[in-house]
Chains A and B, each alone.
Chain A
Amino acid sequence: MADQAMEELPEEVTGWIGKERYHEEGEFPVERGYIWTTCSSVENGNPIFWDDEVAEEITDGPIAMPTMISLWFRPHLWAPGRTKQAQPLQVHFDLKETLGLPEAIMSDNTIVFGEPVRPGDRLKTCQILHVVSDPKTTKLGTGRFWEIEVRYENQDGDFVGAEHYTGFGYKRPE
């Protein structure tokens, strides 16, 4: 399986490039508890997150920290009826499995922010694989780089953000 990473890309993987996959809606609506917990975790006292009057004046009501965008799609660790642990960024895990690369890191992450995300929003997402590199060897091991875009929109179809990840899936040296 590991040798597959050194060969040409499997057709299955080339077929994923440029395609929107994993269209899904978040498992729960955007909620303020996570907003406050995240602000608390980084001691962010920005009053648009804590003071409703300020939020009304500046952001037309409460919003989430923009950098929380991926949080709304991180699945519950357990949910009724779920037999397999759900993974965020499934395309990344698909690549690891299909290319036989057991380890992976994310090296670059770009986030673009659109309309603010608000409590009660039901966000939707999809994932797009843009590029998979030829085999490369780094100090971590030998594998491939890939670029994945995750797009987000709200229940009204407004663009609320996109993330671009560069990942490196690899096999450790023997």
Chain B
Amino acid sequence: MSENHALLTVDQVEAGASIPELSYDVTATTVVLGALASRDFRPMHHDRDFAQIRNGVQDIFLNTPNQAAWFERYLTDWTGPKGRLGRIKFRMKDSVFPGETMTFSGKVEQVSTDETGCAWVDLAVNLSVGERQVTDCSARIAVPKDESDNPWKRKNEQWKP
């Protein structure tokens, strides 16, 4: 389980750097819990017969909102609690099924400061199962400039995600 006590500041981040990977063994419980936690009651996320017959896939599979939650957890594990997501975009190419090990990996693409003084890190994040690329994600997350800064305190015109 993530402990999230990191306190990343922007001076510790460089474009081109990789962030630590996260691997997780997915079970049927992972899929069903994720679907119901996100109030996604569609049967392909809890009914294997439906997933196989109607969707033509091998099993139930991780739903989109829960994948978003996994991406958020992955990124804030890295930044710590002061990391504040501004924007996330993902494209699903394949699915994650019970019995598979999913792996999140990420690379810093850009480090910048906007006109309000907010420090941003843009990352390319990937979710894969073995050699299979499942979901590509790009994320923009605000991190503190220094230990006294806190992106969560930004409001209105000071927050430009």
Q: Which residues of A are interface residues toward B (Cβ below 8 A)? A: 34, 37-48, 54, 58-60, 65-68, 70-71, 74, 77, 106-116
| Interface pair A106/B92, CB less than 8 Å apart | yes
| Interface pair A115/B155, CB less than 8 Å apart | yes
Report which of B5, B81, B85, B159 forms a contact with A66, defined as CB distance below 8 A: B85
| Interface pair A110/B81, CB less than 8 Å apart | no
| A residues near B159, Cβ cutoff 8 Å | 114-115
For chain B residues 44-74, which have a beta carbon within 8 Å of chain A? 64-66, 68-73
For chain B residues 5-19, which have a beta carbon within 8 Å of chain A? 5
CB distance from B22 to the nearest CB of A (A): 10
| A residues near B85, Cβ cutoff 8 Å | 66-67, 113
CB distance from B43 to the nearest CB of A (A): 11
| Interface pair A109/B89, CB less than 8 Å apart | yes
B31-39, B105-113, B114-122, B124-132: which lies at the A interface? B31-39
CB distance from B101 to the nearest CB of A (A): 14
CB distance from B151 to the nearest CB of A (A): 10
- Given A37-B37, A46-B2, is A109 in contact with B68 using a C-beta cutoff of 8 Å? yes
| A residues near B89, Cβ cutoff 8 Å | 108-111
| Interface pair B161/A65, CB less than 8 Å apart | no
CA separation between A113 and B81, bound complex, in Å? 16
Q: Which 8 A-B pairs have the closest CB atoms?
A: A74-B39, A67-B68, A44-B73, A110-B89, A41-B37, A46-B4, A45-B2, A67-B72
| A residues near B39, Cβ cutoff 8 Å | 34, 71, 74
- Given A65-B72, A67-B69, is A110 in contact with B152 using a C-beta cutoff of 8 Å? no
CA separation between A54 and B70, bound complex, in Å? 22
- Given A65-B69, A67-B69, is A58 in contact with B81 using a C-beta cutoff of 8 Å? yes
CB distance from B87 to the nearest CB of A (A): 5
- Given A37-B37, A38-B38, A114-B159, is A67 in contact with B87 using a C-beta cutoff of 8 Å? no
CB distance from B57 to the nearest CB of A (A): 12
CB distance from B136 to the nearest CB of A (A): 10
